[in-house]
Structure 1
Amino acid sequence: MPFAEKNPWKILSENLVYENNWIALHHYQVINPSGNEGIYGKVHFKNIAVGVIPVDEEMNTYLVGQYRFTLQQYSWEIPEGGCPDKEQPQQTAQRELLEETGLKAGKWEYLGSAHLSNSVTDEIAELFVATQLQQFSASPEETEELQIKKVPLQQAFAMVENGTITDAVSIIALQKLQLLWMQGKWKP
C-alpha cells in the first residue's frame, strides 16, 4: 500500500512570539506524527523570495556581492529580493534586476519555485531567467551596499560547484538553468 500524503500533525495551540515587517515567528503546541505532544516553531516570511539570472548575448551573467548581516560574511548571489503580496513575482524580479544591476530584460522565462529551509520556515522562492538585456542605472536600497560582477555563465556554475556561491536561491536557480541547458531544454 503506498504511503498516504496526508498531514500527520495536529495543532493544539498557536502563539505569535515575534513579528516585524519581514517575518513572523510562531510557537505551536502539537501532537506530532508519532502521537506524542510536542512543540514546533515556524518562521513565516511575509514576502516571497524572487531570484533572477540575467544572461547577456555573450553568455555572461551578473552577480551581486554584498555583506550579509545575518551571516556576518560577504556573499555573491544572483539578483534577488522580496515580493510583497501586492506584486507578482515577475514584477518583483524586474524591479530587483533594475535596482541591483541597472539591467532591464526584453525576455523573461520562469524557471520554477523552491521551498527554502522548509523544516523551520514557509519561505518560497520564485526563479527566473532574463535575456535581451539593456543597461540603465542601478538604484540599490539604503540597506544594500552592492558590488556587481559580470562573469561568464559557466563561471557562475563553477562558483556554485566550488562553494564560492552559497546562497540557496542562487544555487537552486543556477543549477536548474545549468541542467536545462545541458539537456537542451534552455537556449539563450
Structure 2
Amino acid sequence: MENPWIKLNTKTVYETPWIKIEQDKVINPSGREDFYGKVHFQQTAVGALPIDEDGKIWLVGQFRYTVDRYSWEIPLGGAEENEDLLEATKRELQEETGFSANDWKGFLHLHPSISSTDQQAYVFIARGLRAGATNPDETEVLRQKKVTLKEALQMIDRQEITEGISVAALLKYAVQELAG
C-alpha cells in the first residue's frame, strides 16, 4: 500500500544517548498540514528467552524507575547501531543472568509501540544454558527467577510481568508450545 503521509521536514526536539524525540511537519492522509511526534530509540531492543534443560524459563526482576514499580522480565537490553543483534543478546543474557548458551534461535521481531516510536525489538531463544558470573549495569539491581511456562503466564495474568517485549515473547512461546 502506498504511504498516504508526506513528510515536509523533521526537527530534533530532544536527544540523549538513549532516545531522540523528533517532530515531523507532515501532510496527513486527509491532506491537511500537521505535526507528528516520534520517539526514536538510539539502540535496537534485544531480549533472550532463556530456557534450561528442565524447560524452565529464567526471568530477571528489577525496580523500574519509569513506571515506579518492580518488574519481572526476560533479560533485555540494547544493541548499538551496527552491532550484531545476536551478539548483543548474548551480552545482555550474560550481564543480567550470568548465563551463556550453546543454542540460539531467532524467535520474535516486533514494534513495541508503533504509533509513537520506531523502536524495534528482537528476541532469541537461548538453550543449553551454562552458569557464570553476572555483570549488570550500574543502574541494575537484579534478581533471577526460574519459572514454568504456566507460572510465567500466571505472572502475566497477575500483572507481575507487564513489560511488552516480555509479554509478547512469553505468549508467542506459549502458543508454539500448545501447537506442538
For the aligned pair, the TM-score class normalised by the smaller chain equals over 0.9
2:77 matched to 1:85? no
Kept in 2, the 8 Å contact 1:55–1:153? The answer is no
Name 1:47's counterpart in structure 2. Answer: 43
Name 1:23's counterpart in structure 2. Answer: 19
Selected match of 1:69 from 62, 65, 75: 65
Name 1:138's counterpart in structure 2. Answer: 134
Calculate the aligned-residue CA RMSD, in Å.
Answer: 1.0
Task: Give the TM-score of the pair, scaled to structure 1.
Answer: 0.92
What is the alpha-carbon distance in structure 2 between the residues aligned to residue 174 and residue 80 of structure 1?
Answer: 13
Kept in 2, the 8 Å contact 1:48–1:83? The answer is yes
Q: CA deviation at 1:72?
A: 1.2
Q: CA deviation at 1:30?
A: 1.1
What is the alpha-carbon distance in structure 1 between the residues aligned to residue 72 and residue 89 of structure 2?
Answer: 17
Kept in 1, the 8 Å contact 2:149–2:174? The answer is no
2:150 matched to 1:122? no
What is the alpha-carbon distance in structure 1 between the residues aligned to residue 56 and residue 151 of structure 2?
Answer: 9
What is the alpha-carbon distance in structure 2 between the residues aligned to residue 76 and residue 167 of structure 1?
Answer: 8
Name 2:161's counterpart in structure 1. Answer: 165
Counterpart secondary structure, 1:35 = coil
Task: Give the TM-score of the pair, scaled to structure 2.
Answer: 0.96
1:84-124: CA deviations, max 9, x gaps? 11311111111111000001111011112001111110000
Q: CA deviation at 1:14?
A: 1.2
Q: CA deviation at 1:144?
A: 0.6
Name 1:180's counterpart in structure 2. Answer: 176
Q: CA deviation at 1:161?
A: 3.0
2:106 matched to 1:110? yes
What is the alpha-carbon distance in structure 1 between the residues aligned to residue 24 and residue 135 of structure 2?
Answer: 41
5 Å-filtered alignment, 1:5-20, equals 5-20=1-16
Kept in 1, the 8 Å contact 2:75–2:92? The answer is yes
Q: CA deviation at 1:163?
A: 2.1
Counterpart secondary structure, 1:70 = helix
Kept in 1, the 8 Å contact 2:10–2:25? The answer is yes
What is the one-letter code of the residue matched to 1:30?
A: V
What is the alpha-carbon distance in structure 2 between the residues aligned to residue 72 and residue 162 of structure 1?
Answer: 17
Structure 1 unmatched runs, 5+: none
Kept in 1, the 8 Å contact 2:103–2:128? The answer is yes
What is the alpha-carbon distance in structure 1 between the residues aligned to residue 78 and residue 67 of structure 2?
Answer: 18
Counterpart secondary structure, 2:123 = strand
Moved over 3 A (4+): none
Count of residue pairs the alignment pairs up? 180
